[in-house]
Amino acid sequence: MRKNSVKNRRINDEVQRALARIVREVKDPRISPLTSVTGTEVAPDLKTCKVYISVYGDAEEGARTMEGLKSAARFIRGELARTVNLRNTPELAFILDDSIAYGVAMSHRIDEVTAADRRAELARGEDTDIEPDEE
């Protein structure tokens, strides 16, 4: 099975949906309630699975959540085995995904630059949104 085959994508999607539900059910107080599974990469041989986790909050909250998930990995894998019918249930490797936080930070920076450009245009007396009067 190739890495990007239709079968592999379907397995990744099914495992991601199942893990998202299972992670919400874990009763470890270290795991933040604002935790989501942003992606999964199941190896073609179904032996390993990288689970990308996003945690809303600061870095300390993310570290505590990752610690809780790693300690609950055996339970989560067992629930995955009961939920998803695969030949092998993959070993889970949790990876903290900060791409959402990075995207939000970049969006704020773009907004700041756009606002600064707009203020500079207004200070120079230029207004790009107003078109000259047509006669």
- Within 10 Å of residue 111's Cβ, how many Cβ atoms? 10
- Distances 66 to 13, 32, 43, 59, 89 between C-alpha atoms, Å: 21, 9, 21, 11, 21
Confidence (pLDDT) at 103: 83
- Extract the runs of DSSP E, i.e. beta strands, from 9-59: 35-42, 48-55
Question: In this model, does residue 14 exceed pLDDT 90?
Answer: yes
Residue spans of the domains in the chain: they are 6-97
pTM: 0.74
**Pairwise pLDDT comparison (5 vs 110), residue with the higher score:** 110
At the second CATH level, the architecture of 6-97 is 2-Layer Sandwich (3.30)
Q: Which long-range contacts (CB under 8 A, 24 or more apart) does 96-99 make?
A: 96/53, 96/54, 96/55, 96/62, 96/66, 97/38, 97/39, 97/52, 97/53, 97/54, 98/54, 98/62, 99/38, 99/54
Q: What is the pLDDT of residues 16-41, one digit of tens each?
A: 999 999 999 999 999 999 999 999 99
Please tell me whether residue 122 adopts helix, strand or coil conformation.
helix
Q: Is 114 helix (H, G, I), strand (E, B) or coil?
A: helix
* Total count of residues recorded for the chain: 135
User: What mean pLDDT do residues 7-13 have?
Assistant: 92
Banded pLDDT at 135 (limits 50, 70, 90): very low
* Average pLDDT value over all residues in the chain: 88
Arithmetic mean of pLDDT, 125-132: 60
d(Cα 38, Cα 53) in Å, to the nearest integer?
6
Greater confidence, 130 or 90? 90
